[in-house]
Structures are given as structure tokens and as C-alpha cells.
Chain A
């Protein structure tokens, strides 16, 4: 593919998974023009999934979560402007102003500013309360866990369940609190979330599920517990709030771009002429599913980046991924492809549930819509390839067509 002649300068805002992947995809596809990555974090790009797993457990030094070595970054031929957040965007001029007052202009601007954790109203200023999004968060949480005895995790989604498992592995007394009947119930359906609940309980995690968390209790500026709507207070030395994430679009409030729980894009991931969004911050129209979607997972960041890069270079590609995420909790490695609606018909097609090694197929009205692997990654991937169609991005065929 030859670059459209008018694009000779690309500015990517957000220098993490999605931003870096966009830059790399542009170069891989032959783009030779100017390339700038602007990021608010001072660190070179690093990966977030290991934060709740290997970094929190101490198995990895934080350095190991770096996405690329210095050689690879240098080889990209990009300018990195780090530690300087974008504060506004003028889409017509494709100009971005930064906190330090610099204005960067380009022919194409890619918004890759990700998301930040949702918080409880009363957690501000209370010691011992953590969120987990950045490497700094992970280091601070780990330090607190090493001296604490009782952890309460607020939030029964993927991140909460992972933190609970990792902290239990460190020997803490761990309680997982949240409104669902089982961890990840809304994402995985009753069968698999029930197995996850058993897994956690079997490892000694106390599950306080089915109750809404109202807030925190504290003394002398430090957290002492978590208040439930049942009237109970769960005592805690450390609390992790894992209530999901909010897209980082505040800096775009005056841009005129349509914002609705993410930067709203068309099927080509375009928010305005010459302005694209990618990764956790992007909401786009998924043509195959016929609905607008925002995905918060690691593979989406890179797959969407590939499509955005193509479109910047003059292609006209819709982004129609088969969503995928994985999660590691205790000895369970789950791979989830496609959609697992709670009302889907679930059948185990490989392995054995009692052996905790299986692949489950999810069908709606007879049609395969999702595949879940529990400690069977390869078999799950093969089934996904057979039943859920071709991947949109790993497709030499598609990108060279």
C-alpha cells in the first residue's frame, strides 16, 4: 500500500499499547513520514496486563513489563514527547496543545489516551486505598500488600478477581466484594463464573458477592473497612477499588468531537477528518455486530491500531474484530473469544470441566458467538478460527490486498 500523499506527519496522543502499536503498524506498512508519540506518563511504553499478575506478585521487576527495548523504540524513527499531557485538540487544524504549552500539528491525529480507573467518592485522601492502572499504582499497591494482613477488593470484574488471586498468592487474607452472583458473572455466564467462584473459594478468598459496596470507613486518614448495603463492614488494612474504567476524553471536551463513553468513531475508527481513535478510548461502529462498541482489552489495542494505520495510509477498512481477552487467576488461564451472552447456550466441546481443562462453545439461536478456553489456550484458538471467522488484522492477505 502506498501512503496517501497528503499524510506526511502523524501525531499519536497516548504512548501506551494502542499508541505504540499504531506507530509500529504505520512503519510496518511502509509509512516513512514524521511520527510523534505524545504521552503523559514519563515511562517508555509498558504493558498493563502483567501489572495485576507478574508485577504485583513480585515475579517480575516492573522493568520487565516494558513493551519494547530501547533498540526497537529507536528503530521506529519516532519522536517521543513524554511526561507532557495533551490538554486540547483542534480537529480542523489537527493541532494538539500540551500542558507545557507546546502545540503539535500533524496531518493525522490518533487519539490513544486509554482509560482511567473509576473510583469511590470517599476514597480520595484515604491511605491504604488503591486503584491499579499504572506501573506506579502496581508498585505502590505491592508495597502496601507486603505489610498488610487484610485486603478487600471492591469489584468482581476481571481486574478485581486477578488482584484477589495475586494477593492471596502473597498470603494475605483476601475478601472479594461486588454485586454479581459470582466473579465475572456478567461476562462469562453462570457456568464459568460459578467455576471461578469455586476456584477463589478453594484458595481461601472470601467472597462477599451479591451485595453493593456503599463506601469506605477510615480512621486517622487510613482505610479501616468497606461498607456494604447490607449494613456490614468488611474490615481491611488495604482496599483495591476495581470498579471498571472511564475513557480519558476530558482533554477533548472542547474539541467538538462526539464523546459518549469514549471517542465516537465511524466503522473506520475515524472521529473526524484526519482524526482517529484507537484502544480503550475508542468507541466505533462494528459493522458485523451492527452496534457501537468500546473494548478494553489488550489485543483490541493492537488489532485496531493496524486498521487505523491502514486508514491513515489511504485504505478504507472497517474494523470488525472478534473480541478477545485472557485472564490468569491462580492456576486458571482463561481465553475468551467473541461474545458470551448470559443467555447463550453453553456446551463443553473439548476437555473436561471437572478436570478444570476444557473449551466451551457459546451459541445464540444455534449460531456460535463465543468460545471460552479454561487452561486450553491452543484448542480454544483453533475452535475460534473454525467457528468465529477470520481475524481482521493478523491478515497479511487483508493488509496487502
Chain B
């Protein structure tokens, strides 16, 4: 799984951090999403998928890729 984020879309909701704290964080200054791990391990995939779906700004994109 390959994760990308569109910082421009991010509204700083932090829903992604609640869903997958190992993969997402927020910048201190403006709350914009920080991608901690663009290629998360298998056991995190479900949480990352959830994070992408609950992001209220559709700012998280998932690509299939080893």
C-alpha cells in the first residue's frame, strides 16, 4: 500500500490521526496532516483505509503498490 496526502485539501480535522496514529500526525503550526509512513506495514492497512475514508476533506489517497 502506498499512501499520499494532498496537504492543500487537508482541513486539519485530525480524524486520520484518531484512526491511524502510527501513520498520520498533524503539524503543530497549522494542523496540516503529516504522513509518518508512506508505505505502512500490512497490519496497519485496515486503519489506514479507515483514515482515508473518514478524512472529511478526501485528502488521503491510497494506491496499491508493494
> Which A residues fall within an 8 A CB radius of B?
21, 24-25, 28, 47, 49-50, 66-69, 72, 298-299, 301-303, 306, 324, 326, 328, 333, 335, 373, 375-381, 385, 391, 393-394, 396, 399
Contacts and interface: CB of A to CB of B under 8 A. Distances in A.
A28 B11 contact: no
Interface in B1-44: 9, 11-15, 17-19, 26-28, 30-31
Nearest to B14: A381
Nearest to B34: A378
Contact of A333 (B11, B17, B27): B11
B66 interface: no
23 contacts: A25-B53, A28-B50, A28-B53, A47-B57, A47-B58, A50-B9, A66-B58, A67-B58, A298-B56, A299-B13, A333-B31, A335-B14, A377-B13, A378-B27, A378-B28, A379-B28, A381-B12, A381-B26, A391-B15, A393-B54, A394-B15, A394-B50, A396-B50
Nearest to B31: A377
Nearest to B63: A71
A17 to B, nearest CB: 8
Interface residues of B, number: 26
Contacts of B62: 72
A401 B36 CA distance: 26
Given A299-B54, A326-B12, A328-B11, A394 B31 contact: no
Contacts, number: 86
A8 to B, nearest CB: 22
A298 B54 CA distance: 10
Contacts of A306: 54
B11 to A, nearest CB: 5
A399 B20 CA distance: 14
B54 A396 contact: no
Given A299-B56, A333-B12, A381-B14, A394 B51 contact: yes
Interface of B: 9, 11-15, 17-19, 26-28, 30-31, 46-47, 49-51, 53-54, 56-58, 61-62
- Report whether over half of chain A's contact residues are helix, strand or loop; otherwise say mixed: helix
B57 to A, nearest CB: 7
A375 B30 contact: yes
Given A28-B49, A333-B30, A396 B56 contact: no
B15 A377 contact: no
Given A28-B50, A396-B46, A377 B12 contact: yes
Given A335-B12, A376-B31, 12 more contacts: A50-B9, A66-B58, A68-B58, A299-B54, A326-B56, A335-B13, A377-B12, A378-B28, A378-B31, A391-B18, A394-B18, A396-B47
Contact of A378 (B26, B50, B56, B57): B26
A381 to B, nearest CB: 4
A377 B14 contact: yes
Contacts of A391: 15, 18
